[in-house]
Each structure stands twice: as C-alpha cells, then as structure tokens.
Structure 1
Amino acid sequence: MTAKRNTAAALIRRAAPFAIRAERASDVVAREALLDACFGENRQARTCQRLRDGRAPAQGLSLAAVRQGDRLVGTVRLWHVSAGGRSALRRGPLAVDDDCRGLGVGAALMQRALAVAKARGHGAVILLGDAPYYARFGFTAAKTGELSLPGAFERDRLLGLELVEGALDGAWGMITPAGAPLLPKRPLLKTKASRSRKAPLAVPHAA
C-alpha cells in the first residue's frame, strides 16, 4: 500500500506545471530580466525600491518558481522593515512570466513565502498591492492606516497581515528599511601562480 502511495505522489510531482524553491545565485540574471519585463526598466525609481536599496533580503525568503528544466518563471523576495517601530517584513515585487499566467504561480509563491516567514518567527508582512487579490491571503488595511511610505503611494493599497496576533498593534509612522546591508562584491584576486605567469605571445596568422 505504501509503495502505491509513493508511486502516485511521484507521478503528481512529475506532472506539476512548476515548482517553488529557494532562489539561487544562478537565478539572478533571469530574475532581473523577469522583473524588467513585468514592471519596466524604470522600476528602480519606484517608492518601494527605497526600502530595498542597499539591503539584503530576509534570510530564507527569496523564492523562485521554476519549470521545464529549471527555467525561472516567477520570483518573490521579502525584506526586513520597521513599520513605525514594529518589526515586520515588506514583500518585494512578485513577478510571473506571461507564459505561466493562470497556473497559480503567484499564489503559490505568496503562500510559500508566508509559510516560511511564519515558521521563522516573523510577526507581520506588509505590501503594496490590490486589496481584492491579496485578501485571499489575509491581507487588509485594518492596521496600516497610520503607516506611511517614503514617497507617493495609494493609501488603499498599503496592506498588512499579522502572522502573530497583535504584531501590528499601534503601528504608526514611516516604514523604513531594517535589513542587513548588502555586502560589496569582492574583486577576484589573482593567485600567485597567475601573477607570475607571463602573457602568451600572439601568433600571427599564416598568409
């Protein structure tokens, strides 16, 4: 009986149209291209980008949706913020490849991100998005009315979800970045052997 259940589960996994996994370094180029395609190349100028500039995403909360040979088709990241003095997470852009709309990729990314955030002990998540869509995940404007963003935004799109009851009680003031700063990329260091090796001589082509 156990063997049959395992076989059935394996068939379902193979038939699934996509999978959700942790983002990898090799995903970054494809992720940036997907974000440009979904939000335009001027997305870096948006208000919410100010909460991410120079900051690392929250640990374990950069997720990717992949299919067909590990092709990136969706992405979401969460970032640490201070919501008027209350510790919270801010959801970054949620993007899905046009070819995969209607497969539930966006919903699956949100559900996994919220589950991971809760498992890691985070108290609340804040986002800027369409209230009717995000209501399905429990987001409301009930406790974000006294919060602000560093720039222009639509008040009715600022939504919050408490993963721990009362996490946003009394939240008031500006939402500010609170994550760890991004570490600068280290330049590649030449090894002693490469420094001592002479450059090869150019060989002229035969006439």
Structure 2
Amino acid sequence: MPLEKIGGQVFDIAQEKPTDVWEVEALYDLCFAPGREALSSYRLRDNVQRVPELCLTARDGDGILAGAIRFWPVLVGNAPALLLGPVAVHPTRQGEGLGGILMRASLGRTDELGWPRVMLVGDYPYYSRFGFEKLTGVEMPPPTNPDRVLGIGDWDGITGQVRKWGSKLI
C-alpha cells in the first residue's frame, strides 16, 4: 500500500502482520474503555478468523503504531457481511485524519474481495462521512442500541439477526 502523508508526517499503511497482534491489542486497550471485550460485538468475533486483507495498521516514520482497523465476517440472516471494528488511532494522533485514511483504504477493497456489505456499531455523525447509513431490520445481539447499527454497501432485502460466522440458522 502507498505511504500516506498528513501534514508533514508520513504514515505507512500496511496489512496487519501476525507480529502486530499484541501491539494492535495494546492500542485498542489504550483507546477503548476497560471491559471492551465484554461488548456483544466481541461475541461475534470469538474464535472467528479476521479478514486479513482488510486489517490494516498505520505506522509513523519511526515505525510506531499510530492506528489500526480490523474486519470480521458475520452473517445477517443467511447473508454474509463484514463487521468493521475496532478502528483506533493513538490519542496523540487523533484529529489528524488517520482514522479516515484507514477507513477509506480498507473500505475501498471490500467489493474486490467479494464482500458487498459492511456493518458496524458506532456514531452516525462520524461514520456517515464514509457513506454509512442506519440499518433497519438488522438486529445486533443485545444490549446494542439499534440506532448505532450502521451499514454501507448492498443491504437491499438483507434483514435479520447478526450471527457469528459459521453459525447455523435455527
């Protein structure tokens, strides 16, 4: 992937490597509240392989991790979809546009990789700038606020419960 320049700083945007895992997890711990892994979205990720081609890191010129984004496969009804998240930018780098670079770089590849729809749980005012809209008829496991369930891509006729990838419809 190309280098991205923000202000006078250059960032290397690259696919997350296996050696990045613990550093990325430490960034998520820094950026999110304790207990983040108790959220219902994490139950959808348990023992499920990430989509590696879409999981990206951003490192500054010194090789320091400044941001990361991950994607996970899920089922909505019987339709495959991607669950975006978490996406995080180190607190010292927030507000510079790095999160947007990670979003655009990864979302720009979803169709070519065969994923026609992406969803997330997040703040509409932030994610709407990337084309996300509120999803109706898509039910995340409780206690998720339905107003925070957002999607982008081909959601025509796709409704139902969001389930763990590989689970069977009962």
Compute the TM-score of the two structures, normalised by the length of structure 1: 0.73
Q: Which residue of 2 aligns with 1:198?
A: none
User: 1:127-168 deviations in whole A, cap 9, x for unaligned?
Assistant: 111111111111001xx2111112211111101101xxxx32
Change (3 A) 1:30 1:59: closer
Change (3 A) 1:154 1:30: same
Alignment check: 8 A CA contact 2:15 2:52 kept: no
- Deviation of 1:60 after TM superposition, in Å, equals 0.7
**Structure 1: how far apart are the matches of 2:144 and 2:117?**
20
| Structure 2: 5+ residue stretches without partners | none
Moved over 3 A (4+): none
On the 8 A contact 1:84/1:174 being kept in 2, the answer is yes
Aligned to 1:195: none
CA offsets, 1:34-58, max 9 Å, x none?
A: 1111113311101110110111101
CA distance in 1, matches of 2:65, 2:120: 23
Per-residue CA deviations over 1:111-134 (Å, capped at 9, x if unaligned) read 011012122121000011111111
Is contact 1:79–1:179 with CA below 8 Å preserved after alignment? no
Number of the residue aligned with 1:175: 162
Structure having the larger proportion of residues in strand: 2
Write out per-residue CA displacement over residues 63-102 of structure 1, whole angstroms, 9 at most, x where no aligned residue. Answer: 1011132111111111111112221111021111011012
Shift of 1:16: 3.9
- Report % sequence identity: 36
Deviation at 1:26, TM superposition (A): 1.9
TM-score w.r.t. length of structure 2: 0.88
1:99 aligns with 2:86: no
Kindly provide the amino acid, as one letter, of the partner of residue 114 in structure 2.
Answer: G
Show the counterpart of 1:126: 119
| 2:48 aligned partner, one-letter code | R
2:10 aligned with 1:17, yes or no?
yes
Structure 1: runs of 5 or more not aligned: 1-9, 181-207
Return the structure number with greater helix share.
1
Q: 1:119-158 alignment to 2 at 5 Å?
A: 119-141=112-134, 144-158=135-149
CA RMSD of aligned residues (A): 2.0
Contact 1:27/1:72 (8 A) holds in 2: no
